[in-house]
Structure 1
Amino acid sequence: MFHIDIQKTERFTDEKALREARKTVQQSSEDLDNRTGKGSGWLGWQDILQKPNDALLENMDAIGAEIHQKADVFIVCGIGGSYLGAKAVIDALKPEFDDSGPEIVYAGHHISGRYLRQLIRHLEKPKSDGSPKQVYLNVISKSGTTMETAIAFRVLRKWMHDQYGDEAVSRIFCTTSKDGGALNKIIKAYGYRKFILPDDVGGRFSVLTPVGLLPIAVAGIDVKQLVYGAVSAYQDLNKDRSNLLDYVSARYALYKNGYAIDLIASFEPALTSMGGWLQQLYGESEGKNGKGMFPAVAQYSTDLHSIGQMVQDGPRNMVETFLVVDDTGQTVIIDKDNRNYDGLNYLSGKSMEHVNEKALQGTQQAHLEGGVPIFTGYMSQLDAHSLGYAIYYFELATAIFVYALDENPFDQPGVEAYKKEMYHLLGRNNG
């Protein structure tokens, strides 16, 4: 269903380093299973797969289908793990240029007034038949006070009430913690519908909770297939974790050997946002006390024409992690052109997927010869089940890798540093 090939990393480590890495990683895996590692109270992302909540999935599917039918625009208002997981799945599985169902847009993931003003203008622009757009809003925040999300929600909440009056209450959905926090106070005051993010699940591990499931269901994607793909991974990796531990061990050995950047790349544009989700999963989990690999994202072959030179001939402190789909299910056949001005007739009769695959293989070989260790993650199909499987694989691998670093995979103390300085400059303590 999903596995990672490490063969193109082997020349960059030796057997002794790999043995030592595997020993450390094996202990980290046991610490995770025994719940003796740091942050062991934040393992709810595993618990939800041990006993899947079918009633919740059916509820998400029913509400998502209702909004899917009624809405023209569905706003996902959140930042970090509150939207990246949902965006990764939606971008991977919702067909490009598909105008069925609502347009999914995002807010609260930065502090650009220009963007928010233009979003509101877009919402206010009538449909082609002259009727107003039907808009629904889902705000996602455990605390309700994260600056980016809270500002956007305040502005959009007012717009919704101005636009729809009392009906706005039935169009606004809040995903937050069970108790406490500013968002729960707002829910109580206005009567918005609420979905709960379990207290023991951190944001970047929350895509398989209502945080991700509601937007994904609204997009028309089968959330049960997604979650049960992750359940399959949970069960499989409890029985046999050898491939995953090989991957984590090789990555850890390379890290110990001075490799400091992990470039997450794909030749399939639908997986670019998956790279964005992984960027947060890796970055917030690993980056502590001067440790971890810096995660970056590239979309090939597009970015081969921008950063390809740096990857090929730049500093040799980078690994690449490729995300590959064995069967995308769609392609285009290249026709013969009698005049052949572009010189492409040697490709006539071949599919674009064939060309893309050769571009992948050629890029990997060139980068390998240029001194870049390469991991390749293979997904059998681009569907909900396979994507759910890959999500859990990466969550588990991340937790074990960070335990090997002797850090807590589930906190992010450094994120508070910019907030502290920002709040000081804004005069937050002055009321």
Structure 2
Amino acid sequence: MQHEPLRFEPGNLYSDQVGANGLSPSCLKALGPSLTTAHSAIHTRVASGELPFLRLHEDRATLERVLEAATAAQSRFDDLVVLGIGGSSLGGRALIAALGGAGLRVHFPDNLDPDRFGALIDGLDLDRTQWNAISKSGGTLETIAQLLVVREQAAARLGSYGALASRLVVTTDPNKGFLRRLARRDGLPSFEVPPGVGGRFSVFTPVGLYPAAAAGVDLEGVFRGMAWAAERLASPDPAENPALAAAGLLYSLDAEKGRPVIATVPYADSLRATAEWFAQLWAESLGKAGRGPVPVTAVGATDQHSQLQLWMEGPPNMVVAFIEVDRFERSMPIPPADLGDDPDVAWMVGHDMGHILRMEKRGTAEALTQAGRPNLTWRMPAVTPESLGAWMLITQAMTAYAGGLYGVDPFDQPGVEAGKVIARRLLSAR
């Protein structure tokens, strides 16, 4: 790769920039043994095949199968509806929002709101619509409920229950669960969620790849970014591994400085869904045993006008993680027109909108730094498949490493199950 797709800039987390609220410049060295242990614990399991999520870029066979299926779908359908929720939806949505191309229109209803879901179905040509039911377990309540409604709608509008079979793709466990049984019974095309890959780590499995490919995302570029990131993740040295450095710094700011809240703030609208994807990854992986960091999402410059006051003068419990984009696809300079000589306008005339957005980010970062508020920056040269693939893999590794530092298992979610059990009991009490 000719240019680095991503840079990690943590300078404004240190005490020489933000004073007593920041970390000692030697904090990563002091944390060294813990970082080494956290890195080794994850990569030993990756090497054994127990945790394949950091090596998915090596799975060319799955990528080629996904691309082949997506090409076939593009020749037959206009729309794809993803029936999934949480990790079965957020990753694909993030890839498409940032990188979507000239493929199918992809919809992520992502909930059981009957008004929204019904309006979506009403507006679709069901003959020209494909459905992708995604559930790692094969029995997620929301996904199965959506699927049963769609099956009835297809029967009513297309003439038979069988009409859905040629328009449905299933992504689920390779061996068990309702969706796998349905796929076998009806001969449905299907993809597998690899064992050992949880939903929030599944964006680079067919869970995220198939919807993205159908939308026209350049997955070859995404895989190049993943490979670039994987080279850096192999190192146990935080000076060479940005995920390990970031995990150590964010953990230290929580443990030493009482800053458990991390606000992820991309200065690009196309990355809004990426920040939302990260929020699930961070919260569900680390919020356990009465502790854990708290993710917040925002978008610059929009949320300078809603959240910045809190960041600047609110409780000293937050770290702001910016994503800055050096170059946008479009150039939109501010024209002089007939108002360019007004002193309230003249200073911005001639600047490109993207440049203004970058300066707003830099101004916000500098203001936070001067106020003693720790902040870091992830810098992308542009929103490209390579940069997004690199960032998403690095933040997955960062989350896994942080689990070791916090002393929790980042790959389970025991707190989620109780609500599911109660909901099923309530629904069964007819």
TM-score, normalized by length of structure 2? 0.90
1:93 matched residue in structure 2: 99
2:42 matched residue in structure 1: 32
Secondary structure at 1:348's aligned position in 2?
coil
1:129 matched residue in structure 2: none
Secondary structure at 1:62's aligned position in 2?
helix
Residue 227 of structure 2 corresponds to residue 217 of structure 1? no
**Structure 2 contact 132–170 (Cα < 8 Å) conserved:** yes
2:197 matched residue in structure 1: 201
**Structure 1 contact 22–245 (Cα < 8 Å) conserved:** no
Amino acid at match of 1:70: R
2:168 matched residue in structure 1: 172
Aligned length: 413
Q: Runs of at least 4 residues of structure 1 off by over 6 A?
A: none
Per the alignment, do residues 336 and 16 of structure 1 end up closer, same or farther by CA in structure 2, a change over 3 Å counting?
Answer: closer
Secondary structure at 1:75's aligned position in 2?
strand
1:286 matched residue in structure 2: 286
Residue 63 of structure 2 corresponds to residue 57 of structure 1? yes
Amino acid at match of 1:45: F
| Cα shift at 1:41 | 7.0
1:7 matched residue in structure 2: 11
Distance in 1, matches of 2:155 and 2:210, equals: 22
- Equivalent of residue 106 in structure 1, options 88, 102, 108: 108
2:370 matched residue in structure 1: 369
Residue 81 of structure 2 corresponds to residue 75 of structure 1? yes
**Structure 2 contact 53–197 (Cα < 8 Å) conserved:** yes
Distance in 2, matches of 1:398 and 1:249, equals: 10
Distance in 2, matches of 1:46 and 1:18, equals: 23
The two structures, once aligned, show a CA RMSD in angstroms of 2.2
| Cα shift at 1:122 | 1.5
1:228 matched residue in structure 2: 224
| Cα shift at 1:359 | 0.3
Amino acid at match of 2:54: Q
**Structure 1 contact 197–211 (Cα < 8 Å) conserved:** yes
1:356 matched residue in structure 2: 357
Distance in 2, matches of 1:33 and 1:192, equals: 36
- Equivalent of residue 140 in structure 1, options 117, 123, 134: 134
Distance in 2, matches of 1:343 and 1:161, equals: 61
Secondary structure at 2:326's aligned position in 1?
strand
Cα shift readout 1:328-375 (whole Å, capped 9, x = no counterpart): 232211110223468322222211111111100111112223332111
| Cα shift at 1:186 | 1.5
- Equivalent of residue 46 in structure 1, options 54, 77, 82: 54
Amino acid at match of 2:209: L
Distance in 1, matches of 2:23 and 2:32, equals: 12
| Cα shift at 1:15 | 4.8
**Structure 1 contact 71–101 (Cα < 8 Å) conserved:** no
2:18 matched residue in structure 1: none
Cα shift readout 1:119-172 (whole Å, capped 9, x = no counterpart): 122225xxxxxxx76111001002222111111111112223433344421210
Amino acid at match of 1:106: F
Residue 117 of structure 2 corresponds to residue 116 of structure 1? yes
Amino acid at match of 2:399: T
**Structure 1 contact 18–250 (Cα < 8 Å) conserved:** yes
Distance in 2, matches of 1:288 and 1:42, equals: 22
Per the alignment, do residues 41 and 284 of structure 1 end up closer, same or farther by CA in structure 2, a change over 3 Å counting?
Answer: farther
1:251 matched residue in structure 2: 250
**Structure 2 contact 312–371 (Cα < 8 Å) conserved:** yes
Per the alignment, do residues 189 and 307 of structure 1 end up closer, same or farther by CA in structure 2, a change over 3 Å counting?
Answer: same
Distance in 1, matches of 2:317 and 2:95, equals: 30
Amino acid at match of 1:415: V
Cα shift readout 1:213-235 (whole Å, capped 9, x = no counterpart): 11000001122221232122112
* Greater alpha carbon shift after TM alignment, 139-148 vs 365-374: 365-374
| Cα shift at 1:17 | 4.7
Secondary structure at 2:174's aligned position in 1?
coil
Cα shift readout 1:84-117 (whole Å, capped 9, x = no counterpart): 111111000126xxxx43221113x222111111
Residue 146 of structure 2 corresponds to residue 158 of structure 1? no
Distance in 2, matches of 1:84 and 1:336, equals: 41
* Greater alpha carbon shift after TM alignment, 354-363 vs 371-380: 371-380
Amino acid at match of 1:293: P
TM-score, normalized by length of structure 1? 0.90
Distance in 1, matches of 2:27 and 2:262, equals: 19
Per the alignment, do residues 63 and 290 of structure 1 end up closer, same or farther by CA in structure 2, a change over 3 Å counting?
Answer: same
2:33 matched residue in structure 1: 23
* Greater alpha carbon shift after TM alignment, 286-295 vs 181-190: 181-190
Secondary structure at 2:271's aligned position in 1?
helix
Secondary structure at 2:377's aligned position in 1?
strand
**Structure 2 contact 324–361 (Cα < 8 Å) conserved:** no
**What stretches of structure 2 of length at least 5 have no aligned partner?**
16-21
Distance in 2, matches of 1:263 and 1:42, equals: 31
**Structure 2 contact 99–218 (Cα < 8 Å) conserved:** no
